[in-house]
């Protein structure tokens, strides 16, 4: 491909697969997200923010070129700030957290990051850890679309979510300038260093993978809203050996904590609310949300729990 055709191909990937087309983002920009959904997104997306300087550090360490490193290190400073006057992206995101009504220390503790979000973000760090510099830089090119999305997002928040204090939107404002500049640098690097069809194809795949990861992140956020309930065929037997869930083709032994979580799954509480309720009941264990989410995922996989919004809804059985 000529450089022009290659660039067009990269942009086409974004046009087709960038997460601005994800149902959650569409709802955000239509203004139909509930305040709790906005909060879940802000709380979880913070984990992604914390991964950015780490993955940029990994990219930095792959380069032999002082010029590249001088340029790329700025991204880390953009996110981490300088520790005094200049606020970094991480800090600005925590302001957003405060602006939507969350406790920033609570968000920064990362204690109730949803499991799918954690997996998606970790997959991004793993991707840049295992790929060469070219693919790693190519995976950052989602920024080509980020600037436009930020402009749109600011307008959408002002219009649809006026309860979010304007001060909270400064992260988006900072990205309207940073993202296009970073994207231009990244694009220049990729266009220069992708030599031949094979390199170009690797870059396209890297960008596709990154789009997948961003989509998976939003899937992970949506999972938090799932209103799980015991599957209609599942029944809990209380046995001396502990609770036993009996359902089609399976019997699953759970412990008393699991029993308590299942009891909270009433089809009304979301996964996030179930974890929050467990936190209220058991303040001591630091990992309570993480354990609750892992349990909910496992039970859903085994068919013990289901969400009414499943593609094949289980209608109520006749009494």
Partner 1 sequence: MSAPRLWNLIAELTYRCPLRCPYCSNPTDLAAHADALDAPAWGRAFVEARALGAVHVGLTGGEPTVRRDLLAIVRAAAAADLHAHLVTAGVPIEADGLAALARAGLGSVQLSVQDAEPEASDRIAGTASFARKLAFARAVRALGLPLTLNVVLHRHNLARVGALVALARRLGARRLELANAQYHGFALRNRAALLPTREQLRVAALAVEAERASSPGLEILFVLPDYFAERPKPCMGGWGRKALVMAPDGRVLPCHGAAELPLEFWSFPARPLRACWEDAPGMNAYRGEAWMREPCRSCPERTRDFGGCRCQSFSLAGDAAVADPACALSPHHALLTAARDRDTAAEGDGPGLRYRTWHLA
**Site residues for partner 1 per CB under 8 A:** 231-233, 235, 237, 244, 246-249, 251, 303, 310-319
Nearer to partner 1, 84 or 312 (CB): 312
Q: Please, which residues have CB within 8 angstroms of residue 120's CB and are 6 or more apart in sequence?
A: 48, 213, 214, 216, 217, 219, 220
> CB of 219: closest distance to partner 1 in angstroms?
11
- At closest approach, how far in Å is the CB of 310 from partner 1? 7
Q: DSSP secondary structure string, the chain?
A: --HHHHHHHHHHHHHHHSGGGSHHHHHHHHT---HHHHHHHHHHHHHHHHHHHHHHHHHHTT---HHHHHHHHHHHHHHH--SSSSPPHHHHHHHHHHHTT--HHHHHTTTT--HHHHHHHHHHHHHHHHS-HHHHHHHGGGHHHHHHHHHHHHHHHHHH-TTS-GGGGHHHHHHHHHHHHHHHHHHHHHHHH--HHHHHHHHHHHHHHHHHHHHHHHHHHHHTT---EE-TT-EEEEETTEEEEEETTEEEE--HHHHHHHHH-BSSS-HHHHHHHHHHH--S-TTHHHHHHHHHHHHHHTTSEE-TTSSS--PPPP-
The tokens 């083709």 sit on which residue?
A: 249
To partner 1, the closest distance from the beta carbon of 311 in angstroms equals: 7
Which is nearer to partner 1, 53 or 215 (by Cβ)?
215
Q: How far is the CB of 314 from partner 1 (least distance, A)?
A: 4
Give me the least distance between CB of 293 and partner 1, in Å please: 18
State which residue, 105 or 248, has the beta carbon closest to partner 1: 248
Which lies closer to partner 1 via its Cβ, residue 233 or residue 260? 233
Residue (244 or 276) nearer to partner 1, CB: 244
Of 195 and 301, CB closest to partner 1: 301
In whole angstroms, the minimum distance from the beta carbon of 250 to partner 1 comes to 9
Q: Which is nearer to partner 1, 198 or 238 (CB)?
A: 238
Between 289 and 300, name the residue whose CB sits nearer to partner 1. 300
> In whole angstroms, what is the distance from residue 115 CA to residue 199 CA?
33
CB of 296 to partner 1, least distance (A): 16
**Any idea which residue has 């990051």 for tokens?**
113
Least gap, CB of 256 to partner 1 (angstroms): 19
Task: Report the 10 Å Cβ neighbour count for 259.
Answer: 15
């Amino acid at each position: 491909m000529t450089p022009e055709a290659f660039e067009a191909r990269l942009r086409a990937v974004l046009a087709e697969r960038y997460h601005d087309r994800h149902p959650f983002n569409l709802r955000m920009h239509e203004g139909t997200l509930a305040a709790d959904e906005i909060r879940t997104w802000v709380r979880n997306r913070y984990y992604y923010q914390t991964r950015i300087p780490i993955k940029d550090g990994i990219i930095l360490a792959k380069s032999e070129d002082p010029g590249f490193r001088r340029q790329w290190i700025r991204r880390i400073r953009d996110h981490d700030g300088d520790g005094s006057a200049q606020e970094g992206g991480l800090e600005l995101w925590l302001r957003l957290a405060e602006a939507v009504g969350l406790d920033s220390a609570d968000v920064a503790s990362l204690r109730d990051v949803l499991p799918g979000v954690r997996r998606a973000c970790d997959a991004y760090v793993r991707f840049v850890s295992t790929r060469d510099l070219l693919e790693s830089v190519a995976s950052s090119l989602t920024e080509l679309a980020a600037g436009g999305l930020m402009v749109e997002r600011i307008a959408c928040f002002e219009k649809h979510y006026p309860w979010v204090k304007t001060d909270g939107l400064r992260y988006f404002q900072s990205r309207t300038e940073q993202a296009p500049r970073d994207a231009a640098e990244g694009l220049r690097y990729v266009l220069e260093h992708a030599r031949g069809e094979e390199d170009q194809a690797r870059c396209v795949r890297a960008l596709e993978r990154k789009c997948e990861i961003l989509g998976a992140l939003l899937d992970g956020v949506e999972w938090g809203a799932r209103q799980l309930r015991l599957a209609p065929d599942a029944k809990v037997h209380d046995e001396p050996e502990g609770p036993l869930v009996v359902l089609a083709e399976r019997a699953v032994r759970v412990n008393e904590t699991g029993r308590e979580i299942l009891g909270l799954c009433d089809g009304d509480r979301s996964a996030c609310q179930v974890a929050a309720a467990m936190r209220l009941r058991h303040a001591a264990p630091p990992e309570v949300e993480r354990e609750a989410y892992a349990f909910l995922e496992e039970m859903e996989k085994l068919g013990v729990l289901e969400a009414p919004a499943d593609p094949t809804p289980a209608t109520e059985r006749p009494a």
